[in-house]
């Protein structure tokens, strides 16, 4: 039976814990005495506890994150009741800051703050050797990559078949954006390139085709970024899909060249815009050049097959509804395939709290600590924006309404028009979750016919093509009377090698 159990509750089954695999990989001589058990937040805590205690461990290490903080607290409380002699060690970003305020830290035996890749192994050696450190909270020394064992052999065949495969070529971020934990994670450290690429080759050889890079600033080191892109380009096979987080205003020709060479659907870039208000950018210590952002996004849309996922944040200090609306309208004009509208979260340890008094920032006390209201956005308005964000994801980001979407705002403001749609959808449904695609078609149809006055005969073929693009053959009732047989046959199925959501965006773009 293992003496050490490493565990966490992932947000969903498809998400594999990258952090636990790093801890396991760096246990050294203790690795054979440890087991890795993963769960997800939909499972019952008592069932999770049963599985852990079945291993009869002496030490349980638990990764705590914003998405599992509440469940982890219950797990630790029940674990200490059921097996008080088991030593519980916490780690992860949620317990790396403000530890003195957290009940879960008080319940656990030890908490390691920061990057615990090596510190966890060192603590386990002491505990298994009969020593018990006096300090309950232990700050980990920042590890260098060349001193770490890479964890990629710990993805098993089931992970490769069913889960997201996370990888990283660097850690840290040189920027100081006050809402982000990465602003505390300095300096930027690069993984040794040759061992990293060897590990990527091993994953490719084992059948991995989708890689999610978790680097916060993948395109900061141009030499390394280009080498990684060229590595995968040279090994491209249909189905390869690479996700990178990119700095939006840094895309020189040295990177543009290999990016152009990838087939459509092979690359996804997540670009964090967050705000396009210069005054707000200054408040939150964010630096970005708007002209370069616009130029880079135009390049990606017009000259490459990259799927662009851009981020905007609602509720930043100093940003009112009008400012956010202007930013969204500007970003829509830059034509990324997706715009993720996120609600500001007060992550533990981030310096965003310095604005609380001046801008009357009020956050939820429960994870994920989303902003409830600010000086400039009252609670009711924030709720409307929260619904807007959810409906935007269902309609604008899903790829299920790519042809129909521009009809929602026509020549006007995307924000204003979509807010009207959001209000109409909420009035009709009273909720923003659990709405079927069939019902979404009906809601969008009603809005465009009743509120926008569109011609049903012109709207129906576009909405039908959007609906059918995902492989559906049933015709929604609201469309049936307005479709000819030719309309029903005029459906282009996705042909690009990409995940379904991204593929729907590309086939619609090609059709236009």
Confidence of residue 264 (pLDDT cuts 50, 70, 90): very high
- Summary mean pLDDT of the chain: 94
What are the DSSP E strand ranges found in 423-490?
none
Q: Are residues 224 and 132 in the same domain?
A: no
Q: Are residues 170 and 280 in the same domain?
A: yes
More confident residue, 505 or 229: 229
Tell me, yes or no, whether 383 lies in a domain: no
Number of domain units in the chain: 3
Rounded average pLDDT over 237-258: 94
**179 exposure class (CB count in 10 Å sphere: 0-12, 13-18, 19+):** buried
Q: Are residues 265 and 291 in the same domain?
A: yes
Q: Tokens standing for 180? A: 């982000």
Non-local CB neighbours of 298 within 8 Å, separated by 6+ positions: 334, 335
Q: Tokens standing for 480? A: 């049936």
The predicted-structure confidence for 394-408, as pLDDT tens digits, reads as follows: 999 999 999 999 999
Q: Are residues 359 and 407 in the same domain?
A: no
The predicted-structure confidence for 154-202, as pLDDT tens digits, reads as follows: 999 999 999 999 999 999 888 888 998 876 766 789 999 999 999 999 9
Is the pLDDT reported for residue 218 higher than 50? Answer: yes
Is the pLDDT reported for residue 426 higher than 60? Answer: yes
Rounded to whole angstroms, how far apart are CA atoms 461 and 174? 49
The predicted-structure confidence for 293-303, as pLDDT tens digits, reads as follows: 999 999 999 99
Domain of residue 22 covers 4-144
Angle (CA) 34 65 40, round 5°: 65
* Amino acid 174: pLDDT: 81
Alpha helices in 206-273 (DSSP H): 222-234, 253-261
Confidence of residue 91 (pLDDT cuts 50, 70, 90): very high
Confidence of residue 424 (pLDDT cuts 50, 70, 90): very high
Is the pLDDT reported for residue 249 higher than 70? Answer: yes
Tell me, yes or no, whether 382 lies in a domain: no
Q: Are residues 243 and 134 in the same domain?
A: no
Rounded average pLDDT over 193-215: 97
Rounded to whole angstroms, how far apart are CA atoms 314 and 382? 8
Q: Are residues 401 and 436 in the same domain?
A: yes
* Amino acid 185: pLDDT: 63
How many Cα atoms sit within 13 Å of 475 on the Cβ side? 17
Is the pLDDT reported for residue 318 higher than 90? Answer: yes
Non-local CB neighbours of 253 within 8 Å, separated by 6+ positions: none
Is the pLDDT reported for residue 457 higher than 50? Answer: yes
* Amino acid 512: pLDDT: 47
Tell me, yes or no, whether 157 lies in a domain: no
Q: Are residues 177 and 120 in the same domain?
A: no
């Amino acid at each position: 039976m293992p003496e050490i159990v490493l565990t966490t509750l992932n947000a969903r089954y498809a998400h594999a814990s990258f952090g636990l695999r790093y801890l396991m990989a760096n246990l050294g001589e203790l690795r054979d005495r440890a087991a890795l058990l993963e769960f997800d937040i939909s499972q019952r805590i008592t069932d999770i506890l049963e599985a852990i205690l079945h291993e009869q461990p002496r030490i349980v290490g638990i990764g705590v994150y914003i998405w599992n903080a509440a469940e982890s607290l219950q797990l630790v409380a029940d674990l200490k009741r059921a097996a008080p002699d088991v030593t519980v060690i916490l780690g992860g970003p949620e317990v790396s800051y403000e530890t003195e305020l957290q009940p879960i830290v008080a319940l656990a035996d030890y908490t390691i703050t920061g990057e615990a890749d090596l510190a966890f192994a060192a603590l386990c050696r002491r505990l298994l050797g009969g020593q018990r450190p006096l300090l309950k909270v232990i700050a980990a020394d920042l590890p260098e990559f060349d001193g770490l064992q890479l964890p990629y052999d710990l993805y098993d065949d089931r992970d490769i078949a069913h889960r997201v495969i996370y990888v990283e070529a660097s850690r840290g971020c040189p920027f100081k954006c006050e809402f982000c934990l990465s602003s505390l994670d300095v300096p930027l450290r690069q993984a040794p390139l040759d061992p990293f690429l060897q590990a990527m080759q091993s994953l490719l050889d084992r059948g991995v085709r989708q890689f999610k890079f978790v680097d916060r600033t993948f395109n900061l080191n141009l030499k390394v970024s280009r080498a990684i892109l060229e590595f995968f380009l040279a090994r491209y096979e249909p189905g390869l899909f690479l996700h990178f987080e990119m700095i939006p205003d840094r895309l020189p020709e040295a990177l543009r060249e290999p990016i152009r060479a990838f087939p459509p659907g092979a690359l996804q870039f997540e670009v964090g815009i967050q705000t396009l208000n210069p005054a707000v950018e200054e408040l939150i210590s964010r630096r970005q050049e708007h002209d370069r952002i616009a130029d880079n996004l135009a390049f990606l849309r017009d000259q490459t097959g990259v799927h662009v996922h851009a981020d905007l944040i609602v509720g930043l200090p100093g940003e009112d509804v009008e400012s956010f609306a202007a930013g969204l309208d500007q970003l829509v004009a830059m034509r990324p395939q997706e715009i993720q509208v996120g609600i500001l979260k007060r992550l533990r340890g981030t310096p965003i709290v310095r604005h609380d008094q001046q801008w009357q920032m009020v956050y939820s006390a429960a994870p994920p600590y989303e902003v409830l209201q600010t000086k400039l956005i009252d609670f009711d308005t924030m709720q409307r924006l929260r619904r807007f964000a959810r409906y935007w994801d269902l309609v604008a980001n899903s790829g299920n309404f790519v042809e129909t979407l521009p009809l929602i705002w026509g020549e006007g403001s995307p924000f204003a028009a979509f807010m009207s749609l959001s209000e109409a959808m909420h009035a009709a449904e009273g909720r923003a979750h659990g709405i079927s695609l069939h019902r979404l078609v009906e809601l969008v149809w009603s809005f465009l016919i009743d509120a926008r006055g569109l011609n049903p005969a012109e709207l129906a073929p576009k909405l039908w093509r959007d609906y059918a693009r995902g492989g559906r053959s049933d015709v929604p009732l609201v469309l049936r009377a307005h479709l000819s047989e030719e309309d029903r046959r005029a459906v282009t199925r996705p042909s690009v090698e990409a995940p379904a959501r991204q593929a729907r965006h590309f086939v619609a773009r090609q059709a236009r």
